[in-house]
Amino acid sequence: VKSSGRNDYCLFRAEMLEIVHTQQSAERELREAIAERQFELHYQPVVDIKTRELTGVECLVRWRHPTKGMIPPDHFIPLAESTGLIVPLGEWILLQACADAANWPEHVKVAVNISAIQFKKGNLFEIILATLVKTGLQPERLELEITETSLLENQDAHLTTIRQLKNLGLSIALDDFGTGFSSINYLTIFPFDKIKIDKSFTRGILSRADCKAVVASSLALAKGLGIITTVEGIETEDQLDYMRAAGVELAQGYLFGKPVPVSEFGRANAPMLTE
When the beta carbons of 77 and 110 are compared against ligand C2E, the nearer one is 77
* Residues near 81 by beta carbon (within 8 Å), at least 6 away in sequence: 115, 116, 117
**How many other β-carbons are positioned within 10 Å of the β-carbon of residue 109?**
20
Q: Which stretch binds Ca ion (CB under 5 A): 5-13, 99-107, 175-183, 235-243?
A: 175-183
H helical segments located in 102-236:
116-121, 124-135, 155-168, 183-189, 199-204, 209-225
Half-sphere exposure of 273 (CA within 13 A, CB side): 18
| The entry of ligand C2E, Ca ion, none that residue 249 binds, CB within 5 to 8 Å by partner kind | none
From the list Ca ion, ligand C2E, none, which binds 73 (C-beta under 5 to 8 Å, kind-based)?
ligand C2E
Contact in structure between 220 and 199 (CB atoms under 8 Å): no
Nearest Cα to Cα of residue 42 among 112, 143, 134, 118: 112
From CA 39, how far away is CA 56, in angstroms rounded? 21
Alpha-carbon span 127 to 135, nearest angstrom: 12
Of the listed pieces 40-48, 102-110, 120-128, 142-150, which binds Ca ion according to CB under 5 A? Answer: 142-150
Strand partners, 40: 62
* The only residue of 56, 180, 253, 271 in contact with ligand C2E, by rule CB under 6 A: 253
Among 56, 180, 259, 271, binds ligand C2E (CB under 6 A): 259
Cα separation, 130 vs 173, whole angstroms: 21
- N-terminal to C-terminal alpha carbon distance within the chain: 73
Nearest distance from C-beta of residue 246 to ligand C2E, angstroms: 17
Q: Does 176 bind Ca ion (CB under 5 A)?
A: yes
From 10-18, 26-34, 71-79, 211-219, span contacting ligand C2E (CB under 6 A): 71-79
210 binds, among ligand C2E, Ca ion, none (CB under 5 to 8 A by kind): none
Residue 74 binds ligand C2E (CB under 6 A): yes
Contact partner, 211, from ligand C2E, Ca ion, none, Cβ < 5-8 Å per class:
none
In the bound complex, what is the minimum distance in angstroms from residue 16's beta carbon to ligand C2E? 29
Q: Looking at 72, 78, 84, 122, which residue binds ligand C2E (CB under 6 A)?
A: 72
| DSSP symbol at 151 | G
The reply on whether position 148 binds Ca ion by CB under 5 A is no
Binding residues (CB under 6 A) for ligand C2E: these are 44, 59-61, 72-74, 77, 93, 113, 115, 145, 175-176, 199, 232-235, 252-254, 259
